[in-house]
Structure 1
Amino acid sequence: MPIGFRFRFRFRLVPFVATVLLVLLGITLAQWQTRRGDQKQAIENRLLQREADATVKLGGALQDVDQIEFRHMALRGEFIAGWPVYLDNRPLNGVAGFYVLMPFKLAASDTGVDSYVLVARGWLPRDPADRSKLPSYPTPAGTVEIEGLVRRDFGHVLQLGDAGPLRPQAIVQNLGIDEFAAASKFRLQPFVIEQTSNADDHLLRDWPRPSLGIEKHRGYAFQWYALAVMALIFFVVTGFRRGSENTNKPAQSG
């Protein structure tokens, strides 16, 4: 007598729990990547809007970073060559290197109080044989005029251990404006400047765009959503397969 084929789902607790965890993990990570992509897209929109704005001149009065982030600024003053700091682990085109940071004393203003801004002057390659050895580069003396892009900070990289007290010529992984102000005793603007104007100082100024990585985050989000869907499909298909196999086995005669 022919055996009829019937679909039947076999529920098992352990695979169900594992599937729920995988689905939740996939959705959570996908949503996080989506939010990161949305944040980068918002930055890109703000960049495009403010790139069209005219360059403004930075005076001595403290500014609100929310109002001027990603604006192009013109600065007049002098570099404080005795207080350079180097941000490590900042590769350029696959080459290890540093960002050269230096305080810039703004020209006298109506406030009568000296005001400074921390400037990322450019990029230097790292010596592959000696990490602590830095190539020489000139610093313009006296009053100069430069231009740059306003950034909230320099971003962060993975840091292991304590960097220790900040001092001139220090090589650090990360640097906060408040930290630099406390160590140098300079009255700093609450933002940093990525110098974009040319200077004969052997430094490269190919700065990564702050919104870089939008498509990468979108792609990661798709992968995590796909993982959640595949885990659910696998649980359902294997449940029906096991249930149907048990149902359609021929009965054993006694």
Structure 2
Amino acid sequence: MSWMRRPAWWSVLLTVAGVLVFVRLGVWQLHRAEYKDELLRRYAAAAGAPVQDFAVAVANVVENVYPRVRVQGHYLIDRLYLLDNPKHDDMGGVEVFAPFRPDHQDKLLLVDLGFLPGNGSDKAPQLSPLPTSPQTLHGLYQPPPGKGFEMGGNALAQQAQWPKTSIYLDLGQVAADLHASLYPRVLALDADPVAIYVRVHTLDLSSMPPARHRAYAFQWFTFAVVVAVMFVVLHGAKRRPNKNKS
């Protein structure tokens, strides 16, 4: 006697289609994880790359490439922005951004000064004044921090005093707040042992890091196995009772 009943054609079709879809989704998630890993490797390698002139780098910017640049200009010292959701300090703190006007350029460059740890209280950390003299900055020209839905709308437009604080950094909102054009990326400054800021920059993949893609891949592969097992269980031959058994 066969161990399996003959299934209907539509049940075979649905099972095969389901398994193929789930496997395809799992493979796609693995490819996304590999892609994100490659981005992280490129970002890590960029920190030790030769310095390029800022004007040359911006004129030849390539997606998913993070040039290390040198730029000269002046800070807008009275226009600081505090990003209030950094994830690398348990005691609280802010990521500090300052507008910078590069020499001979008509746009402003938003500079990531680094992370300023908190003191365990609800008060904002004490900020040091920025230099008023011409500056030569070095750092990675990289995409801005990820943004999301901010309850209450544009927080910057609702604040009249500086520095201004927000839980997301939207370059469009910053540009409108400054009444100026901004470069589409920010400058993450190189580490400086004498600076009060912590400058351990990473590529912002917090919304979907490689590990999460792999977790989703495992989930989709599990669904494929479950569909196949259910097909076998539902079409297994029923055992007939033994009439000779007393």
Same fold by TM-score, threshold 0.5 exceeded? yes
Q: Which whole-Å CA distance do the structure 1 matches of 2:63 and 2:16 have between them? A: 45
Structure 1 residues 16-47: Cα deviation after superposition (integer angstroms, max 9, x where no partner): 99978985884475355334324313424544
Structure with more contact order per residue of length (Cα contacts < 8 Å, sep ≥ 6) = 1
RMSD: 3.8
Matched, 1:192 2:186: yes
| Structure 2: gaps of 5 or more residues | none
1:90 counterpart residue number: 86
Aligned to 1:134: 124
CA distance in 1, matches of 2:176, 2:66: 25
Amino acid at match of 2:214: G
Give, in whole Å, the separation in 2 of the partners of 1:165 and 1:156. 14
**1:99 to 2:92 alignment:** no
3-state SS in 2 of match to 1:43: helix
Compare CA radii of gyration and give the structure with the larger one: 1
CA contact (8 A) 1:69 1:152 kept: no
Instruction: Assess if the C-alpha contact under 8 Å between 1:62 and 1:190 holds in 2.
Output: no
Q: Answer whether contact 1:152 1:190 (CA < 8 A) is retained.
A: yes
Range that drifts further, 48-57 or 193-202: 48-57
The two structures have a TM-score, normalised by structure 1, of 0.73
- Residues paired across the two proteins, number: 237
Q: Distance in 1 between matches of 2:211 and 2:54?
A: 35
1:169 paired residue number? 163
Q: Report the 3-state secondary structure (helix = DSSP H, G, I; strand = E; otherwise coil) of the residue aligned with 1:118.
A: strand
The one-letter code sitting in structure 2 at the alignment partner of 1:216 is: A
Q: Aligned partners of 1:225 and 1:31: how far apart in 2?
A: 9
Q: Report the identity percentage.
A: 19
**Offset from partner CA, 1:226-248 (integer Å, 9 cap, x none):** 312331233034224xx43x342
What residue ranges of structure 1 are gaps of 5+ in the alignment?
A: none
What letter is aligned with 1:153?
Answer: P
1:231 to 210, 223, 226: 226
How does 1:4-23 map onto structure 2 within 5 Å? 6-9=2-5
Aligned residue for 1:206, secondary structure, equals coil
Matches of 1:158 and 1:21, distance apart in 2: 37
Counterparts in 2 of 1:28 and 1:157: CA distance versus 1, 3 Å: farther
